Amino acid sequence: MGATNGFTTEEFSGVREVLEKNLASGADVGASVTVHHRGEVVVDIWGGYTDVEKTTPWESDTLVNVWSTTKTMTFLISLMLLERGELDFDAPVAKYWPEFAAAGKKEITFRQVLSHTAGLSGFSAPMEVKDLADWEFCVQALAAQEPWWEPGTQSGYHAVTQGYLIGEVVRRITGTTIGEFFQEEVAKPLGANFFIGLPEAEESKVSVVLPPPPVDPSVFQDLPMAIRTFTSPLLDATAPQHRWWRAAEIPAANGHGNARSVALVQAVVAQGGESQGVRLLKEKTLNRIFVTESNGPDLVLGIPVHFGAGYGLASESMPLGPRACYWGGYGGSVIIMDQDAQLTVSYMMNKMDSGLVGDTRGAELAFASAIAAAS
């Protein structure tokens, strides 16, 4: 079995067994897992290596690009602004960002942005990957373009664009970038070592993600919207190897953290608005997460997805409890929060699989956690 560090309670020791099995088999190279249950940290473990050569151990403070798990931080910020009365999910985006009304987007609401139904899953403007580091370029391009399908009719995963759409609304409301807002209003109060825009001082802690096996292009042959989304720009898993990517604010895709920091933040959802003694939201605000915004086949992901206020909800492709939500990242990272069980499960790793929003490794860890929580 692959050795791990950290601790678990006796009841949750099965979670350690799963991670050690994956490290020993090579399914994982380096990874961390954190579980909160009923307000207590019951699992906080890590193991393996930060590099494919296995020369540098994964440490307790190792950071990694968690890809779309970053989106959950933007959802939490949106809920905070909703609670403060500064953001109305049912209001048009153009109320806060007037330029966005161009090209037939006057009626697109913020909740459609949260639920991936705004019709803006990619960029129409010609782009290079490095353009994603240019905030003004990206938001101006999105403000100018027409929707790719009728907004509100169907979800189509806004893989990278969602972060700019949410982030620009946050900037128009607060006068600060979403990365800065997150640090001051969320990360620092909680003591969470998570960043949307990684400071130079944190570089020594980074384990660069290990790209997944190539994807067979034929899997997208019946998903024209997926092809359009993932080729505008053509983004692959080598981008996090570059400092420009890590330093930029790309709020849908380039957050850096670990299982501990992601769980510390998102436990707010499972614990009635509070995490480790710090309250960010009122319990009733969290009810907005579970209002269905779309539920059915996703134009980009090609599977049925049930979206609430940003977070994914229970569906045929993601069996969860009625008061549970989740999201994951390209390659396998995942965060799951269950209000009924008061359970938060976080898995962040460097070895990427080909899945876009989690894979079987995270599912195994979540299952082991759920069994322990129910015992």
**pLDDT tens-place string over residues 176-229:** 999 999 999 999 999 999 999 999 999 999 999 999 988 777 777 889 999 999
3-class DSSP state of 87:
coil
Other C-beta atoms closer than 10 Å to the C-beta of 52 total 13
pLDDT-derived band of residue 299, with 50, 70 and 90 as boundaries? very high
Number of domains in the chain: 1
Give the mean pLDDT of the chain: 96
Query: For residue 316, what pLDDT is reported?
Result: 83
- The predicted model gives 245-263 an average pLDDT of 98
| Mean pLDDT within 115-130 | 97
Domain of residue 266, residue span: 4-374
Give the residue-averaged pLDDT of 229-257.
96
Percentage of residues in the chain with pLDDT exceeding 90?
Answer: 93
Longest dimension (CA), the chain: 58
- Which pLDDT value is given to residue 1? 55
User: Is the Cβ–Cβ distance between 341 and 374 less than 8 Å?
Assistant: yes
Mean pLDDT, residues 59-82 taken together: 98
pLDDT digits 0-9 by tens, 133-155: 999 999 999 999 999 999 999 99
Q: Give the residue-averaged pLDDT of 329-354.
A: 97
pLDDT at 120 over 90: yes
Helices (H) and strands (E) in the chain, counts: 11, 13
> What mean pLDDT do residues 339-343 have?
98
Note the pLDDT of residue 220. 79
What is the pTM assigned to this prediction? 0.97
- Return the pLDDT at 112: 98
Q: Rounded to an integer, what distance in angstroms lies between the CA atom of residue 29 and that of residue 256?
A: 18
pLDDT for the residue numbered 219: 74
DSSP output for 305-366: EEESSSSEE-BTTB---TTEEEEE-TTS-EEEEETTTTEEEEEEESB--S-SS--HHHHHHH
Q: Parallel, antiparallel, or unpaired: how do β-strands 343-349 and 294-297 relate?
A: unpaired
What is the domain-level CATH number for residue 156? 3.40.710.10
Q: What's the CA gap between 184 and 216, in Å, rounded?
A: 42
The pLDDT value given to residue 216: 74
For residue 287, what pLDDT is reported? Answer: 97
Packing angle between helix 135-144 and helix 161-174, nearest 10 degrees?
A: 100
